[in-house]
Every structure is written in C-alpha cells, then in structure tokens.
Amino acid sequence: MTFTRFALSGALAALIAVPAVAEDWRGWNIHPEGYPNTVALESFAKDVAAKTDGRIEPTVYNNGTLGDQPDAIEQVRNGGLDFANFNMGPMGQIVPATNVMSLPFIFRDVDQMHRVMDGPVGQQFSDALAKEGLVALSWFDSGSRSFYNTKRPIKTPADMDGLKFRVMSNDLYVEMVDDLGGNATPMAYGEVYQSLKTGVIDGAENNYPSFESSNHYEVAKYYSITNHLIIPECICVSTATWEATSDEDKAIVTQAAIDAAVLQRDLWSKREMESRAKVEASGVEINEVDDPKAFQDAMAPVYAGFLKSNPDLESLVKEIQATE
C-alpha cells in the first residue's frame, strides 16, 4: 500500500512538474540594436519571460527583418505576429480614427501629447485599435518630425518647391507635402537610404534619432526644423494572441508594457540630444524655419479634407486641441 501510494504521488508529482508548453511570441521592430525602442522592447520581452516563469517567451526581431510596417500591421492583426512597436502614421490607413494623430501640428508639443495619450482620448484610440485586432498596451515617444533633404535648407514653404520627399504610407502625408508645394512618394523606411543616395528622392522627414540611426544624415545634409508631426507609437499585441492569454499573464504583460514605455520615454529624450549632436558634428546643417506659422497655414487644408471624409472624428480633433 505504502509503495502504491508513493508510486501514485510520484506519478502525480511528475505530471504537475511537466511544464506547460511556453508560448513563443514573435515581435516586430523596425529599429536597430541600441535604439531606445529596441532597448525598451527587449526589456519588455525579458520582463514578460521572467514574470510569467517562462509561460510566455517573447522574441523581438529588429531592423524590420519581418517586413515593412504596413505588412507587419496586417500580420499582427491576423495573428501571424504576436506583438509590435508601431508608429501610428501608417496605422491610419487601417484604423481611420488613428489618422487624427497624423494631422499636422495636432499636438502642441510632446508633453501635451503625453497628457492626451495617457488620458481618455488615448483610450478612444486604443478602443479603435482593439476593434481592428490590435491591443495597444502602452505608448512610446517618437519626438517630432521635420523635413530633411539633399539640396537646400527649407526656410519657407516655397523652398519645398519641386523637391521629392519620401513619406510613410498614408494618403494624408501625400496631401500634406502637396499642400506645401513638394512632391510626395510613399516608400518603405528601409528603402529611403538608397533612394536618397541615388537621387530617386531628394528628401524625407523624421525625428533626430531615426534620421541618425538610419544613416540618412550621411546623404541628406539639410535638416529643417518644421516639427510638423508628433506621432505616438504603441506596443500593440495581436487580439488573437491576447485572447489566448490567461488573465494573470495579461496583467503581467500589461505592466511590462507600461514599464517599457517609461524606460523608452526616458531613453528617448537622451537619444534625441545625442542624435542631434552626432548629425551636426558630421556636417548636417540644421536650420529653424523663417516663420513656423507659414508651414502651419500651408498644411491647414489637410484638416478640411480629412474632416470632410471623417465628420465623426471632429469631436476627437477638438478634444485634443482643447487638452492643455
């Protein structure tokens, strides 16, 4: 008897000791090693693995090796990928409400953007994303974007005339550059360096850290501070993955994403200064524009066109504008 009981409890113990199969989560990231977003995503992955005792094992694939952002968005939506760090720019083509964040000068500055995203408006964006298969867990910084090019400093909108700029995949940006008098070409991020080098395009627009880490600054020697877009980025998990996750692990993953965003925002502000210093030291000419309002006025028609096709989003635009 004693033997049987021992054998049984041994078998039971063995059963209990068999670890559940770990869930491998594949994560998309466009940035290289050492970039604030990459460091934060890697910390997220490590944190999740440790705190779920290995039930979830996230791996981050850097440098856009799993595809360009529009493809990756589709993959996360259909469950082919489990999570990603997405810029809200290309998201507007799929989740129209998020296009509000792509309206030029919609956020007054990065601090106001934080207050908006960490409040009820941010929640409305999360709700819109959730309806399209993406669970937004936290928001990263992406600074503000300005134009750069290989030809000349942009001081007035007239300086854009005849120049061809790469934009992220979103019709709003094509319109935005058109309104300024330039020509816009939507293009994958990974193709911009070569296209600048061979003269397929004259310029692009981005924040300092991306301008620097992508090496675009080696070719485009004029960076003109227009600050026309401040676009937040999410850590987003696929709804399919999320629904297969226990409540206990959902809480762990959510907290890890929030902690990663705190880390990213901190690293971001340092990297912005470092990147600016690096590109300046390499001979990039950085200029203020003559009259920032002239750029704002030139891009204002983007609002009218957008609200005409999306009248239901006007209240969201107003809510952001009313946020102190």
Q: Is 133 in the site for ligand GTR (CB under 6 A)?
A: no
Which range binds ligand GTR by CB under 6 A, 42-50, 76-84, 204-212, 269-277? 204-212
Interface with ligand GTR: number of residues (CB under 6 A):
11
Q: Which of residues 58-77 bind ligand GTR (CB under 6 A)?
A: 69
DSSP string, 243-304: HTS-HHHHHHHHHHHHHHHHHHHHHHHHHHHHHHHHHHHTTPEEEE-S-HHHHHHHHTHHHH
Residues 257 to 316 in contact with ligand GTR, rule: CB under 6 A: none
Looking at beta carbons only, is 52 or 85 nearer to ligand GTR?
85
* Min separation Cβ 275 and ligand GTR, Å: 11
In the complex with ligand GTR, which residue's Cβ is closer, 239 or 264?
A: 264
Q: Which of 99, 102, 146, 206 is in the footprint of ligand GTR by CB under 6 A?
A: 206
Classify residue 255 by burial, with Cβ atoms within 10 Å: 0-12, 13-18, 19+.
middle
Single out the segment in contact with ligand GTR by CB under 6 A; choices: 107-115, 126-134, 205-213, 239-247.
205-213
Residues 14-43 that bind ligand GTR (CB under 6 A): 30
Give the contact letters, 163-202, x = binds to ligand GTR (CB under 6 A), - = no. -----x--------------------x-------------
Sign of the dihedral through C-alpha 83, 89, 94, 99: positive
Measure CA 179 to chain center: 25
- 235: three-class secondary structure by DSSP: strand
**Minimum distance, C-beta of residue 140 to ligand GTR, in the bound complex (Å):** 8
Tell me: does residue 89 bind ligand GTR (CB under 6 A). Answer: yes
33 vs 63: CA distance, rounded Å: 8
Binding flag, residue 99, ligand GTR (CB under 6 A): no
Q: How far apart are CA 97 and CA 118, in angstroms?
A: 17
Judge residue 294's burial from the number of C-beta atoms within 10 Å of its C-beta, 0-12 exposed, 13-18 middle, 19 or more buried. middle
Nearest residue (CB) to ligand GTR, 214 versus 241: 214
CB atoms within 10 A of CB 74: 14
Nearer to ligand GTR, 105 or 189 (CB): 189
Q: What angle is formed at CA 292 by the lines to CA 181 and CA 192, rounded to 5 degrees?
A: 50
Let me know if 304 is exposed, middle or buried by CB neighbors in 10 A (0-12, 13-18, 19+).
Answer: exposed
Rounded to a whole number of angstroms, the minimum distance from the CB of residue 209 to ligand GTR is 7
Neighbours of 18 (CB within 10 A): 7
Which residues of the shown chain bind ligand GTR in the complex (CB under 6 A)?
30, 69, 87, 89, 142, 168, 189, 206-207, 210, 233
